[in-house]
Structure 1
């Protein structure tokens, strides 16, 4: 028994010496520049998943013989992350490590602490089959607890963490660029660059009224960008309660944007549109200007920054978001619901058949789901609801946001069919459909002549009537040339004698 324990202790001592030798070899290999011909340099952003490859000496080697070592610098001992192809569960990051079928070491969701030197070995030899130097680029508000949504400006810190023996980063290797790719040097509109110190660089940022503001930190070696990280400021978002508006096809819709009282210009307003069919967001208005699109000619902003859509159609239904920047972000969602009523199928001609089908549909935002049951109603011109089957109609009920009504043609100009969308006890929108009857346009020559004679006779009658009226109006009543006077009740007549020029009275 003692001899066996002695044999085991000797074996453990030998394995411990081998591990120490391997650690020393790793330190020596990484310390001298001339021995780095087989190194692989990897650059990644914080949060990436990384694959560190190991060059197998032959295809016959099994991953059960692979060991992975890790070191942050040459002054500390290397750590064994993988032994005999299995992740060392004592490692604090064991849950993020894995070995694939190629014996590569996979690190998920890397952090700055994962930067350093990695070496792999097959079998029990003293040489390494792969050395990988992993550098990690991070970008975040500085100090770490800073909240860019609360202050007028804040500081961004960009750091490249790498194997310490590589030394500081070359001068001007860490650059700041904006969303257009322009380098941010010194001080400019909305920023002040702090320059580079070692492998760190800072930039002071002022809150900008723009949803597209983005800051990018790049690590450049020579003329090559090895890695870059992006940061988009997260502004405080105030979202107003969603507004639902209802319109008929062909209407002009006005979508209101709620603005704080301090906001005066529409140049800080963006409008986004999410279609009824899918959730892809389209940029309709940027900086107060309508963007190029198939319906740009029907869009405009008024003085209140409201979006006006002329002659709306089913394709215009959906969710519209007004995004306003004014020291923060103010979002207003407007859900445009559009009702249409038309013969079904669309090519049907209600003038040719004895009956036809009307389809009423309500198009709205996809996220709102189907219309509530019994929310689409048919009524006639008297306001009476059309249910089931009756004189001149047959209702098929409602399916989702559609309702059909089969109508028999009736020779009545007052016949009107109305579709209503009712929510609770409130009618939100209604559309009307009066059937169109075909008028006969077949004219024979005799019919044309008779119609011409009737029109001519009518014109003559009107002319004669007007002439009679004018003639009667031109005749004046005859003057009474007899002068009547009464004295003592005896009438005295004075006759105007045409031969005398005057009369003398005594």
Structure 2
């Protein structure tokens, strides 16, 4: 389950005296050509998520604070012989803040897993109320993708705010994992709350709003909390960035704003600088299933647009995601080469036939204001665009004309004596360029 610690067994041979020869690999999907090494006894911990991994005395992989990105296939290799590999599939069950309408609210529950397994069965999700009674009305299996399965429960909005619901993932009649939706009060915005929106890899600058009378950052502390269930962590104390796996990407500017370079999903959450300012860092990503396709083969893929944010916030409002094509036209319903998959919490999907040089844009909006957008596909118009064909033809024709004129001038100027009745003709399609020399003028051109 998300936000928990897990232990993945290695099943190492009893003859193994230590974990120095053990290596752990990670793979998200079957299309990856190489596995990523996440832990090695020989190289010590080697990963951009190094703080997440450790090993036990039996060489089992210990993962701290599991999230959706950790789902996949993990391989334990004792020594260098791949024939003794042990495989562990990690599935991550997550819940999202409910979506509220006038008379109802909808809860979402998703299972992230390795791309290479069978699709989730129809009845793989079960919803229970606070008494343990199974609910059947309002339950839907929204998505059965290769990497994610999504279920929802819609209930009438009641005055009893203490009701809670449990989502279970089952195989047969056996519960594999469950997660509980607990009551949560909405926290409205105020002048001391700032929302920042970025894409993965961006540089984020988190303002501190300290008093202008302060001359230094020696009294500034930055506190980070991914969600309300996670312990608060001090990233900056007394103006100094504290040692952590993320410290190399953090710094303060002269206004004591916190700068985070090359942001990742690990950076999403709530930051407080101590001057009555809370900054929520949100990140948008676009992924595809399958993740790697040949755009020239016009394969069908599903694009997932996600807004990662602190779980202490409310779920994304309905219709807060927009999909656009390369011309800026909004894609809704089903059309030529695409099918809109709808929005579930803070995730929206679009299934497309990926043509050469096609580009799709996902926007997150609040009201009529675009907060952030992300793109999938090549820049520029598609290769089949009539305008691009016309422009390409004009460019080629112009280039041929320039070459012809230049060659004629160079040849004429290169002769020591003017020659009479010299005609040079260069034909471009049905147009002719005629160069004439009458012995007096150096060159002349006539178009016919």
Pick the TM interval, shorter chain: 0.3 to 0.5
Q: TM-score, normalised by structure 1?
A: 0.38
**Which structure's CA Rg is the greater one?**
1
